[in-house]
Structure 1
């Protein structure tokens, strides 16, 4: 009889422990899911509060930490994120997802040296980690460091190429432009079909003043209002206002609708070239809803004042 009771007791305890583990796992999964939902809805305070409520009841996983650090990043809660960082086990500290989240967190909070330390501590750096570190350098106004980091990569992907071109566009030196040109010429062919890579390269050539290559790139990409604005900006900076005006005619033929930025660039081009009659016809095409734009108003005043004999 006694052995039967022991058997029943063991069976009951086993079922009870299994039940507890199941509840624990469900709770952990539910918290992860709910935190992600809240972060996706940009309800970062609620996501972090949920983490705080359950932190001591759960086994911390990489997914929980990723969501908690994301909330801290968006809220700018540096100290809270640092506390989470200090509590991490060695296994979590070696986790690529957690490392990437820590890099993003510190970079977002302006602690680029801390982000660099996390990056350097990784023994198996992924492309995503390299991308996060490059983004961190760019965000913290250190594009030269992003370019330097790029040179250590053997097989960059499209995201990395975009970040490199973005960095070169921000540096705007002959050296940066030369690096960008070289990278572009040596990229695997598949990346030439990526519209984001093309747009990033176009932006680089425009901001670095390489008008010849900018025009070639513009011919390869789908023409948008923003793309036209980029090229027009380059023409105006290179003192080629008639090219801006002629490009506007092409824009109209293609059915691409101008915005206030396009009209601002056109007015500035007319002011450069001194073509009052052309300016008047362009002004007549500006929708009345755009005439409330302060920059547009100031440019029009400058145009008419400069045109006055």
Structure 2
């Protein structure tokens, strides 16, 4: 018996006794979302009278996970005093939609939220990601360079945005500003070089691949992006040597 079946049995057994217990309801909603049973999660959520901020967050996350970003946005609009988690999930929803309407909403909400919220690196990263995925590179750049404390994830969001918007040279330039790049940053650098397919890009790939710790190659995604970059830049021999030695 799986977790979902167990959850439903428990739910049926205790439903009448815990109808107004928000902690139990929240736990069950989380279980349904985790098991991808959004219909049951939404049914329980809708029947819960005193909804908590956490419940709204769980449901929004469930909608996003199941590619129902519009429902997540509609739910966000029901929240009286959204917190930074709700904002982050809203931006994730808009990033998933990639529409003009989503971009307009991102801009509207970003103007309304307190500046103190931007001290949350996760929130800032999700906002940058939403702006980039909705195609507003200029706005994302202005926000990124105006922020005082930049973290690796925000660099990553910008680099990915540049690659997605066919601005790979900007992604490489930004990588050079990162003091201690992580595997995600390096992976994005290789993606940028693969997109350019130039001798200069190949030189960058070779230089960085020599500098990174050997332990990084245990990351299959990073190794794959490196092989892809080498192949797309025309260095088949180097790619083969790396492939057969890994």
TM-score by length of 1: 0.66
Residue 237 of structure 1 is matched in structure 2 by 164
User: Please, which of 202, 207, 210 is the counterpart of residue 284 of structure 1?
Assistant: 207
Q: What's the secondary structure of 1:92's corresponding residue? A: coil
How many residue pairs are counted as aligned between the two chains?
226
Q: Check the 8 A contact 2:190/2:225 in 1, yes or no.
A: yes
Does 1:155 pair with 2:76? Answer: no
Instruction: Return the offset for 1:263.
Output: 3.4
Distance in 1 (alpha carbons) for counterparts of 2:22 and 2:217: 51
User: Please, which of 165, 181, 198 is the counterpart of residue 257 of structure 1?
Assistant: 181
Residue 49 of structure 2 is matched in structure 1 by 123
Distance in 2 (alpha carbons) for counterparts of 1:237 and 1:139: 21
Distance in 2 (alpha carbons) for counterparts of 1:298 and 1:278: 12
Structure 2: stretches of 5+ with no match in the other structure: 237-246
Greater gyration radius = 1
Instruction: Return the offset for 1:281.
Output: 4.7
Distance in 1 (alpha carbons) for counterparts of 2:148 and 2:95: 18
CA change 1:91–1:226 in 2 (3 A) is: same
Q: Check the 8 A contact 2:91/2:130 in 1, yes or no.
A: yes
Q: Check the 8 A contact 1:165/1:201 in 2, yes or no.
A: yes
Does 1:136 pair with 2:62? Answer: yes
Distance in 1 (alpha carbons) for counterparts of 2:207 and 2:235: 18
Residue 193 of structure 1 is matched in structure 2 by 119
Superposition misfits of 4+ residues, deviation over 4 angstroms: none
Structure 1: stretches of 5+ with no match in the other structure: 1-74
Highest RCO, 1 vs 2 (Cα 8 Å, sep ≥ 6): 2
1:96-115 matches, cutoff 5 A: 96-115=22-41
Distance in 2 (alpha carbons) for counterparts of 1:126 and 1:140: 22
CA deviation digits over 1:264-283, x for unaligned, max 9? 13422542xx3x24632552
CA change 1:250–1:190 in 2 (3 A) is: closer
Residue 172 of structure 1 is matched in structure 2 by 98
| Cα root mean square deviation, aligned | 2.4
Instruction: Return the offset for 1:164.
Output: 0.7
1:204-223 matches, cutoff 5 A: 204-219=130-145, 220=147, 222-223=149-150
Q: Check the 8 A contact 2:202/2:229 in 1, yes or no.
A: no
Instruction: Return the offset for 1:189.
Output: 3.5
Q: What's the secondary structure of 1:125's corresponding residue? A: coil
Instruction: Return the offset for 1:239.
Output: 2.8
